[in-house]
Amino acid sequence: MTENSTVLVVEDDVSLMQGIRDILEIKGYKVLTADSGLAGINVMETSQAQPDLIVSDIMMPFMNGYEFFNEVRKEPRWMKIPFIFLTAKGEKADIRVGKALGAEDYITKPFEPDDLLVVVAARLKRSREIETMQTQEVGSVKRGILTILNHEFRTPLTYIVAYADMLNREPDELTYEEMKAFLGGINTGADRLRRLIENFMLLVELQTGEAQNTFSWRKCKFNNYDEILRQTVEYLQPVAEEKGVMLQVRYSYGALPSIIGDAEYLRTALIRLVDNGIKFSDKPNSCVYVSADARDGQLCFDVQDEGRGIPADKQKEIFEMFYQVNRQIYEDQGSGSGLAVVDRIAKMHDGGVSLESEVEVGSRFTLYVPLAR
């Protein structure tokens, strides 16, 4: 099989470097070479073709393999290039350090040509698979967003434009009540748009792995769930009042075990759940109950409503992106992106979302996250 990928070989032992180059070139790889990390950086900066993979020795003058690796990973355009270390036989520490740094693989010297070729081909294949998967994921999020954009952005915008138009036309002749109603309409439309945009941005972040990066440096051990509950309820109180729904919170006063997570993402998820609880409560004097609890090794955020409920055969689908129950019947819905956000935030925390619901009785959504050990 011929390969047209480009491999950068960094090795100060010139005869070994030439040997590796020959093995790879016979198989059809394009090969760039350098005799130190510094020279490797120079080649990457000046060469027209960027390498698809780097094979680098560790002990080298000027800039050793580890330093070279760090320089490569610092640069965003090179960050995804798979990196293979050449380690000396018996140097277990080299392998450990290389792994700890995050290199994709290593080859122990001396090696047979086939050992090298197998590792190079496997790493290139894996990196192409990841690339294809990411492109497809971004593509499907984009398509979903574009489909929904047409309807979901137009409706609230029509609201805003129509009410603003009425306000503009004869402002002197409007009563105070009319003025208030029109401004309320503008507010509703603007709010719906804002939520839509927030959800779309979040979904793209969650789908492309960007959120995972943020999560990995922001996550920490904590048990201050009351703060998340308080902020959620504070944020949604006006929405609940407008709808005539009571928000009931049960605080834990610091008595619950810790989790490892990110309070901001969890609050974002909880807001979506409570918001839905309010939105889908149609009976007068309905309540939405919000609490945090520890059960079966999990920290559970429970959101229970007395709303319209969800038919059993729809309970799985609602977590899919852009899915809504009976979109044709209900006009009050959003974009079907809220629960997809909640689900992905829960999974990022190694947790999940469960649901118990009965039509016309209500629903209980539970966002659970494993307790820290």
Residues that bind ligand ADP (CB under 6 A): 272, 276-277, 280, 305, 307-308, 310, 318, 323-325, 333-340, 363
Q: Which is nearer to ligand ADP, 67 or 282 (CB)?
A: 282
Q: Which is nearer to ligand ADP, 123 or 308 (CB)?
A: 308
When the beta carbons of 158 and 216 are compared against ligand ADP, the nearer one is 158
The region, left, alpha or beta by phi > 0 then psi within -120 to 50, assigned to residue 72 is alpha
CA distances from 92 to 86, 95, 228, 337 (A): 12, 5, 46, 48
CA angle 214, 219, 223 (to 5 degrees): 150
**Exposure b/e, 323-337, CB count within 10 A at least 16 = b:** bbbeeeeeeebbbbb
Nearest to 273, CA basis, from 354, 328, 197, 193: 354
- Pairing status of strand 352-358 against strand 287-295: unpaired
- Tell me how far, at minimum, the Cβ of 158 lies from ligand ADP, in Å: 18
- Residue among 52 and 343 whose Cβ is closer to ligand ADP: 343
Query: Cβ of residue 289: shortest distance to ligand ADP, in angstroms?
Result: 12
- Token pair, residue 78, equals 């090179």
Separation between Cα atoms, residue 35 and residue 266, nearest integer Å: 49
Residues 6+ apart with CB under 8 A from 186: 159, 160, 163, 164, 167
Q: Residue 306 CB, nearest distance to ligand ADP (Å)?
A: 10
The alpha carbon of 346 is separated from its chain's Cα centroid by a whole number of angstroms, namely 11
- In the bound state with ligand ADP, the residue whose beta carbon lies nearer, of 11 and 152, is 152
Q: What is the radius of gyration, based on Cα positions, of the chain?
A: 28
In the complex with ligand ADP, the residue whose CB is nearer, 5 or 276, is 276
Least distance (Å) between residue 311 CB and ligand ADP? 9
- Written as one letter, the residue type at 71 is E
Distance CA 144, CA 129 (A): 23
62 or 330, CB closer to ligand ADP?
330
For residues 36 and 147, give the distance between their C-alpha atoms in angstroms, rounded to a whole number: 51
Least Cβ distance, residue 241 to ligand ADP (angstroms): 18
Q: Indicate the residue among 209 and 311 with the shorter CB distance to ligand ADP.
A: 311
* Residue 244 beta carbon to ligand ADP: minimum distance, rounded to whole angstroms: 16
What does each C-alpha distance from 289 to 23, 161, 232 come to in angstroms? 67, 36, 12
Give me the least distance between CB of 363 and ligand ADP, in Å please.
4
Element (H, E) at 301: strand 298-305
CB of 52 to ligand ADP, least distance (A): 39
Name the minimum Å distance from CB 235 to ligand ADP: 16
Q: Which is nearer to ligand ADP, 14 or 359 (CB)?
A: 359
> Are 127 and 52 within 8 A, CB to CB?
yes
